[in-house]
Structure 1
Amino acid sequence: MENRKVATNKILWIFAIGQLGWSLLSGIIANWLVFFYQPSQEELAKGQLQFIPKGTFIGLTAIGIITAFGRIFDAVTDPLIAGKSDSLKHKWGRRIPFMRFAAIPFGAVTVLMFVSPFEAGSFGNAATLFVFAMMFYFCMTCYCTPYNALIPELGSTQNARINLSTFISVTYFFGTAVAYLVPNIAGMFLESMGYANSYRVTIAILAAVAVICMLVPAFLIDENQYADTTPSKSSAFSSLLATFKNKDFRIFVCSDILYWVGLTLFQTGLSFYITVLLGLDSGMTFPLFAIMTVVSLAFYPLVNIFSKKLGKKKLIAFAFLFFSFAFLVTAAAGILAIPPFVYGVIIAVLAAIPMAILGILPQAVVADISEADKLDTGESRQGMFYAARTFAFKLGQSLAMLMFTSIALIGGDVEKGESGYGLGYRLTALLAAGLCLLGGIVFLKYNEKKVIDRIEGGQKNA
C-alpha cells in the first residue's frame, strides 16, 4: 500500500479508453437490438425482416423476454465475478487478468447477437439470440465489473476520483455516439448487401474497434503499481450482503435503479422517438446524439468544478429533476407545431445537461462510499460495491426492457397519420419522466457529508 504510485492524468486517460470500447459495444446492443428485431413499419418498408416471432406471451414480446432475461443473468453474475475478482491472487493483479481475457469474446459475441441463421419468423432465431444474449452479458460482466473496481483504486483522492469519472464519462459518450452511427455506416452497404447484412457488417467493424480500445488499459496499465491487489477473504455472497448493509449505498442504489429504468426506456426508445414520433429517418439519430454529446461535453468542465465546490449530491438531485423534464418534452414529440428536426435538437439539448452530471458523478459517489466503507470495515471490496450497483440497476434495466417492448405495442396497428399513432412510444417517455423524478426524491436522503468526513478523517490518520 505504501509503495503505490499516484495515477497521473495520462494513466487515467489510458484507463478511460477501455470505457470507450465497452460503451461502444453496450451502445450497439442498447440502441439497435430491439430496433433490429422488433422493426417499425418504416424499417420493414426499407427491407428489414421480422427475424423472430412477432406475437406476445402474456403481453410480453420475444425480444423483451430475451433482453430482460439477459439482464437478469447479467445482474446475477455481477457479484459472482466481483467476488472472484476481489479475491483473485495473480501476478497481473486482481482486475487486469479478467479484462485481458474477456475483451475479444465480448466483441465477438456482440456481432453474433445480430446473426439469424434460420428463416424469418423462426423460433430458431429467437433461441439463437437467447444463447448469444447470455454469452454477451457474461462477457460484459467479466470485463466491466473488474474495470469499474479499478476506479476508486486509480482515483485515490477526491479530485482524482472526480477527474477520472469525468474522463471515463467523456469516453463513454464518444463510444455511445459512435454506436449511434450504425444506420449511417450501414447505409453505405445497404444496396450491395441488403438491410440486415449491412447492419451486421457495420457492427463487426465497430466491434473490432471496441476490442482494441478495451485491450489498451488491460496491457498498458500495471495494476500492481497503482492499486491495492491484496485479495479479499470474504466469500462473494457474504461480501454482497455486507455491501448492502451500508445505508448510504442502499439509498444510492434505490435512486440509481429508478434512474436506470427511466434512462433505459429513453435510450431504447430514442430511435423510435426520432423515426416514429418525429417522422425523421433513422440516420438522423447520430446527428441528434452528436448535438447532445457536444452540448453535454461543454458542461463537463462546469460539472467538474461545481461538484468540487458544492458537492455531488445537489448536482445529482438537480440532474434527476431536469432529466424528468426532458423526458416530458420527448413525450410530446410530433404533437406541437415545431419542425421535427428542431424539436429533436430541443430534446437533445435538454437531455445533454443532466447527462453531463449523471455521466460523471454517480461513479464518484460509489467510489466515495466504497472508500469510506473500507475505512470502517478494513475490507477492500471495491469490486463488490460496483457489482452490487450493477446487480441492482441491471435488474431495473431488465424490467425496463420488458416494459418498453410491451408498452411500445400499444397503438402498433394504427396507421401513420391516424390518431393514436406511436402512442406506445409516447407512454414510455412519460413513464421515464416519472421514474426519474422519483429517483431524485430518493437520492435526497443520501448523507454525503458523513461519507466525505469519514474519508477525510481516514486520510488524516493514515
Structure 2
Amino acid sequence: MENKKTATNKVLWIFAIGQLGWSILAGIISNWLVFFYQPSQEELAKGQTALIPQGTFIGLTVIGVITAVGRIFDAVSDPYIAGKSDSMKHRLGRRIPFMRLAAVPFGIVTVMMFISPFEAGSKGNVAVLFVFAMLFYLCMTCYCTPYNALIPELGSTQNARINLSTYISVTYFFGTGIAFFLPSLAGIFQDSMGYANGYRISIAILAAFAVICMLVPAFLIDENEYVDTTPSKSSAFSSLLSTFRNKDFRIFVCSDILYWIGLTLFQTGLSFYVTVLLGLDTKMTSTLFIIMTVSSLVFYPAVNVFSKKLGKKKLISFAFLFFSVAFIVTAGAGLFSIPAMAYGVIIAVLAAVPMAILGILPQAVVADISEEDKLATGESRQGMFYAARTFAFKMGQSLAMLLFTSIALVNSDVKKGETGYGLGYRLTAVIAAVLCLLGGLVFLKYDEKKVLKRIEEGRKDA
C-alpha cells in the first residue's frame, strides 16, 4: 500500500466546514420542527396555526410519530449506506462521491419539511411532512455517514484525531448556533409574510448557506491523497455484525444511546424551557444558546489538552455526571425567586462544560475503536463503525422524540399561572438527567487502556 499524505490543519479545517453545513440543517429539524408543528399556547397567540392534527393516539402525537419513524428509517439506512461507502470503487474515493451527490438534495428537503400545502389541521399536511421527513433522513445518511467515516481516516494520529474532533465540534456548535437564530431571522419577515412564512423563508436562506458549506470539503479535499481507499470486501450486513462483535464498541454504543436520548429530550425541549418554564420570548433562545456556545468554546482548549494527558474516558464520564446536574437544574426553571434570564444563564453555563467534552471526544473514541479493530481484523470498516454508532443513537433519538412529544402533553391543558403549568416539560428534563447518569455508569466499563495499547503496538509493527 502506497504512503499517503498526512492531512494538515488546513485540510482538517476545510473538512470541518462540511460539519458546519450539515449541523445547521440538523439543528433546524431537531430544535424547531416540533416547535413549528406542535406550537405552545404562547406561539399560537403570536399567529402560528396548528398545521397538522394535534390530537393523540394511544398517547402519541402525529409529529412525535413522524420524527420517530424518520429516525428509525435513518438508523436502518445508515448501515446500508456505510456498506456501500466502504465498498465503493470510484476515482474520487469511497466517501467524496456520496458527499457531492447528497449535499444539494439535503438542503432542499430541509426546506420542504416546513411546507404545508393544505389547510391547517389537514391530514394532507401530515402525508407531505412524512414523505419529506423520510427524504430528509435519507439525504442526511448519504452525506453524514461517509463524512464521518473520513474522521479516523484523515486523523491518522492520536493528536490529529483529537484536533480534528475539536475542529468539527467547533463547527458543529456554530452550525447549531446558527440554527438557533431561526426565530430572530424569521422575525424580520413575519410582519409582511406571516408567522409560518417567516420561518419558511428563513429556513430557505439558512439551507442555501448550509449546502455551500457541505460542498466545500466535497470539492476541495482529494480523498485519494490522504486516505486508503481500498474497498472493503464484506457485505453491509456481515460488516455490521462484525462491528457489533467488538466488546468495547458495544459498551460505547450502550452509553451513547442513553446520552442521546437524554440530550435529544433536552435539545427538543430547550425552546419550551425558555418560553414556557422561564416565560422568556422565543428570541431569547438564541441569546442563551450564544452564551452556552461561547462558554463551551472557552473550555475547548482545556478539553484538547487534558484529554491527551488524562485520557478520553475520565473526561467523558465526568461530562455525563455534569450534564445530569445541568438537566436537574433545568427541571427547576421558574420555581425559584431567581430572575428568569439569570436562571437561563445558569443553565447555559452549566451545560457548556459537558457540551465541550462530549462535543469533541466521543468521535475520537469511535476512531480509536475502529482503528484497533482494523489492526485486529485487517478490514477497513470505518464507515460501518460510524454507521453502527449512528444506527444505535438514532434509534435512541426516535424513542426520545416519542417520549418528549407525549410527556410534554402532561398538564398541557393547565393555563399559565395555575399550579402544574409546564409539568410535562419539567419531566422531560428530569428523565434526561437520569439517562445521562446511567450512560456515564455504563461508559466506565470501556477499556481505553487496552484499545490504545493495541493501537500503539500495531503502529510499531507496521
Q: TM-score, normalised by structure 1?
A: 1.00
Q: Does 1:377 align with 2:390?
A: no
Q: Does 1:404 align with 2:388?
A: no
Counterpart residue identity of residue 137, structure 1: Y
Count of residue pairs the alignment pairs up: 462
Deviations 1:108-164 (A, max 9, x none): 000000000000000110111000000000000000000000000000000000000
Secondary structure class of the residue paired with 2:283? helix
| Matched residue, 2:443 | 443
CA distance in 2 between partners of 1:392 and 1:227 (Å): 26
Deviations 1:244-269 (A, max 9, x none): 00000000000000000000000000
| Matched residue, 1:43 | 43
CA distance in 2 between partners of 1:285 and 1:4 (Å): 45
CA distance in 2 between partners of 1:228 and 1:37 (Å): 45
Q: Does 1:434 align with 2:437?
A: no
| Matched residue, 2:80 | 80
Deviations 1:308-351 (A, max 9, x none): 00000000000000000000000000001100000000000000
Q: CA deviation at 1:385?
A: 0.0
CA distance in 2 between partners of 1:147 and 1:455 (Å): 23
Q: CA deviation at 1:2?
A: 3.2
Q: For residues 142-221 of structure 1, what are the structure 2 equivalents within 5 Å?
A: 142-221=142-221
| Matched residue, 2:389 | 389
CA distance in 1 between partners of 2:457 and 2:89 (Å): 30
| Matched residue, 1:288 | 288
5+ residue gaps in structure 1? none
CA distance in 2 between partners of 1:454 and 1:96 (Å): 30
Identity, in percent, stands at 81
CA distance in 1 between partners of 2:152 and 2:427 (Å): 38
Q: Does 1:56 align with 2:63?
A: no
CA distance in 2 between partners of 1:190 and 1:131 (Å): 27
| Matched residue, 1:239 | 239
Q: Does 1:453 align with 2:453?
A: yes
RMSD of aligned Cα (Å): 0.4
CA distance in 1 between partners of 2:62 and 2:79 (Å): 27
Q: Does 1:118 align with 2:122?
A: no
Counterpart residue identity of residue 78, structure 2: D
Counterpart residue identity of residue 31, structure 1: N
CA distance in 2 between partners of 1:388 and 1:301 (Å): 29
Deviations 1:2-61 (A, max 9, x none): 320000000000000000000000000000000000000000000001000010011000
Secondary structure class of the residue paired with 1:416? coil
| Matched residue, 2:421 | 421
Q: CA deviation at 1:360?
A: 0.1
CA distance in 1 between partners of 2:130 and 2:236 (Å): 27
Secondary structure class of the residue paired with 2:300? helix
| Matched residue, 2:66 | 66
CA distance in 2 between partners of 1:143 and 1:228 (Å): 19
CA distance in 1 between partners of 2:3 and 2:218 (Å): 21
| Matched residue, 2:311 | 311
| Matched residue, 2:297 | 297
Deviations 1:152-181 (A, max 9, x none): 000000000000000000000000000000
Q: For residues 92-107 of structure 1, what are the structure 2 equivalents within 5 Å?
A: 92-107=92-107
CA distance in 2 between partners of 1:74 and 1:333 (Å): 33
CA distance in 2 between partners of 1:367 and 1:421 (Å): 45
CA distance in 2 between partners of 1:425 and 1:126 (Å): 24
Counterpart residue identity of residue 233, structure 2: K
Q: CA deviation at 1:369?
A: 0.1
CA distance in 2 between partners of 1:26 and 1:357 (Å): 20
CA distance in 1 between partners of 2:359 and 2:459 (Å): 27
CA distance in 2 between partners of 1:86 and 1:57 (Å): 41
Counterpart residue identity of residue 226, structure 1: Y
CA distance in 1 between partners of 2:283 and 2:59 (Å): 31
CA distance in 2 between partners of 1:297 and 1:71 (Å): 29
Q: CA deviation at 1:78?
A: 0.1
5+ residue gaps in structure 2? none
CA distance in 2 between partners of 1:190 and 1:197 (Å): 7
CA distance in 2 between partners of 1:325 and 1:145 (Å): 32
CA distance in 2 between partners of 1:336 and 1:317 (Å): 30
CA distance in 2 between partners of 1:162 and 1:456 (Å): 16
CA distance in 2 between partners of 1:40 and 1:351 (Å): 24
CA distance in 2 between partners of 1:166 and 1:40 (Å): 36
CA distance in 1 between partners of 2:228 and 2:60 (Å): 45
CA distance in 2 between partners of 1:29 and 1:358 (Å): 21
Q: TM-score, normalised by structure 2?
A: 1.00
Secondary structure class of the residue paired with 1:51? coil
Counterpart residue identity of residue 41, structure 2: Q
Counterpart residue identity of residue 395, structure 2: L
CA distance in 2 between partners of 1:325 and 1:191 (Å): 40
Secondary structure class of the residue paired with 1:436? helix
Deviations 1:208-251 (A, max 9, x none): 00000000000000000011100000000000000000000000
CA distance in 1 between partners of 2:191 and 2:142 (Å): 38
| Matched residue, 2:326 | 326
Deviations 1:284-321 (A, max 9, x none): 01110000000100000000000000000000000000
| Matched residue, 1:224 | 224
CA distance in 2 between partners of 1:26 and 1:228 (Å): 29
Deviations 1:426-446 (A, max 9, x none): 000000000000000000000
Secondary structure class of the residue paired with 2:333? coil
CA distance in 1 between partners of 2:333 and 2:127 (Å): 36
CA distance in 1 between partners of 2:261 and 2:124 (Å): 30
Counterpart residue identity of residue 97, structure 1: P
- Give every structure 1 segment of 4 or more consecutive aligned residues whose post-TM-superposition deviation is greater than 6 Å: none
CA distance in 1 between partners of 2:339 and 2:228 (Å): 55
Counterpart residue identity of residue 413, structure 2: D
